[in-house]
A and B are shown apart, each in its own frame.
Chain A
Amino acid sequence: MMIKEIITVILLVVGCFFFLAGTLGVLRFPDLFSRLHALTKADNLGLGFIAAGMAVYIASPWAALKIFFIWLFTLLASSTSCYLIARFQKEQNHSKNGKEGG
């Protein structure tokens, strides 16, 4: 019982650290692409740690499976969103430059 709780606490604290890192990155980084980099990597890692911690704490196989799927879908959705947002911004920059040049 105690060991389970200690593992949960450690995993949650590590997860919170990554969330803080991600948020600070979004706030402090100078441009969109570095912000994207900070957010989609750090936050997903943080979510992974918190998901692992809660799976250990809840300790039911059905819930653990669900939590695993939550994390998996987030990874998929988040990395695709990162790519889509970056491509969107790149196209916007491109069309703006083209307009100014032409």
Chain B
Amino acid sequence: MDGFFVIVIVFLLLNIALGLFRVWRGPKVADRLLTTQLFGTTGMAILLVLAGYLKELTLLNVAITFNVLAILLVIGLVQVWKNKKEETP
């Protein structure tokens, strides 16, 4: 069972690594912001699986922290950049 958890975690980590291409490519700032959602959700999944794998339930608190703060970034960008013109790609 532990081996299976490791495979799942590695798979999810590779998912994050793949998502980095979108950070590189952009082309717009919103595309890059999208990847933070991807990283946040995938990171939470990794934390959940790790919590079962390491038998450490406090990891769920880390997941909740990620969870409640991931939206801050989106609201931050949307509100801070509200009146700004988009950069040219």
Q: Do chains A and B touch in the complex (CB under 8 A)?
A: yes
* Chain A residues close to B by CB (< 8 Å): 5, 8-9, 12, 15-16, 19-20, 22-23, 26-27, 32, 35-36, 39-40, 43-44, 46-47, 50-51, 54, 57-58, 60, 63, 66-67, 69-70, 73-74, 77-78, 80-82, 84-85, 87-89, 91-92, 95-96, 99
Chain B residues with a Cβ closer than 8 Å to the other chain, count: 42
A contact residues around B28 at 8 Å (CB)? 32, 89, 92
In whole angstroms, what is the CA distance A73 to B66 when docked? 11
Q: Is the CB of B18 within 8 A of A66?
A: no
Q: Chain A: which residue is nearest B72 at the CB level?
A: A77
B74 touches which of A39, A60, A81 (Cβ 8 Å): A81
Residue among B12, B48, B67, B82 with the highest chain A CB neighbour number at 10 A? B48
B contact residues around A87 at 8 Å (CB)? 78
In whole angstroms, what is the CA distance A36 to B77 when docked? 16
Q: Is the CB of A69 within 8 A of B38?
A: no
Residue among B18, B28, B52 with the highest chain A CB neighbour number at 10 A? B52
B contact residues around A66 at 8 Å (CB)? 60, 64
A contact residues around B81 at 8 Å (CB)? 88
Main secondary structure of the interface of A (DSSP, over half): helix
* Chain B residues close to A by CB (< 8 Å): 1, 4, 8, 11-12, 15, 18-19, 21-22, 28, 30-31, 33-35, 37-38, 41-42, 44-45, 48-49, 51-52, 57, 60, 63-64, 67-68, 70-71, 74-75, 77-78, 81-82, 85-86
Q: Is the CB of B78 within 8 A of A85?
A: yes
A contact residues around B75 at 8 Å (CB)? 84
A/B interface sample: 10 pairs, CB < 8 A: A19-B15, A20-B15, A23-B15, A27-B18, A32-B31, A35-B31, A67-B48, A78-B41, A81-B74, A84-B74
Q: How far in angstroms is the closest Cβ of chain A from B31?
A: 6
